[in-house]
Amino acid sequence: MEHATDVAAAIESSVEALVAVLERARLTHTPVIPPAQLRVLTIVAENRHTNMSRLAEALDVVPSSASRLCDRLEATGLLRRVADPRDRREVRLLLTAASRRLLSDLRERRREALAGVLERMPASARQDLLRALRAFEAASGDLGAEAPADDDLRTA
């Protein structure tokens, strides 16, 4: 049996390959949206009550940096800022129809790119991978929510 550190190194290498596949899928979209702006859209898509302070916190950046990202997205028609009906002093961030299409298209391209790689694997290896990923997810529990953020891994 391999040591946990050997398995961890293999996983790290696989994650790098996975990120490369996903990045290639992102780069096939024209125009290419920068990763930081894509991260903003993803955060807003996941929480419909996102305001500027929550976005800055999620990105781990100062509010002025988050605001500049939103300025760029708003200028390209991918984001809207509206007064929050619960507190008019707050500004809520909303996706536009164009950004929802962009995220949906990106999700589809990523899945197609992943499927292309998976199709090159033997069926038994795909089943083993699926079982291993489910076991990994179960073993990790809520660690992702509790783990402190690594500043070197954040994009903003």
Tokens 């992702």 found at: 144
Q: Tell whether the model's pLDDT for residue 156 goes beyond 60.
A: no
Task: Work out the pLDDT band at 153, boundaries 50, 70, 90.
Answer: very low
Q: Tell whether the model's pLDDT for residue 73 goes beyond 90.
A: yes
35-59: per-residue pLDDT in tens?
A: 999 999 999 999 988 999 999 999 9
Q: Per the omega criterion (within 30 degrees of 0), is the bond before 35 cis? A: no
Mean pLDDT of the chain: 88
Tokens 């899928």 found at: 25
Q: Name which residue leads in pLDDT, 142 or 89.
A: 89
Number of folded domains in the chain? 1
Domain that includes residue 86, residue range: 4-139
Q: What is the C-alpha to C-alpha distance for residues 83 and 105, in angstroms, rounded to an integer?
A: 29
Q: What is the C-alpha to C-alpha distance for residues 151 and 156, in angstroms, rounded to an integer?
A: 11
Tokens 């929510």 found at: 145
104-135: per-residue pLDDT in tens?
A: 999 999 999 999 999 999 999 999 999 999 99
Give Cβ neighbours of residue 54 (< 8 Å, ≥ 6 apart): 47
In a domain, 28, yes or no: yes
In a domain, 8, yes or no: yes
In a domain, 84, yes or no: yes
* CATH number of domain containing 73: 1.10.10.10
In a domain, 101, yes or no: yes
In a domain, 151, yes or no: no
The model's pTM is 0.76
pLDDT at 145: 55
In a domain, 68, yes or no: yes
Q: Tell whether the model's pLDDT for residue 62 goes beyond 80.
A: yes
In a domain, 156, yes or no: no
Q: What is the DSSP letter of 76?
A: T
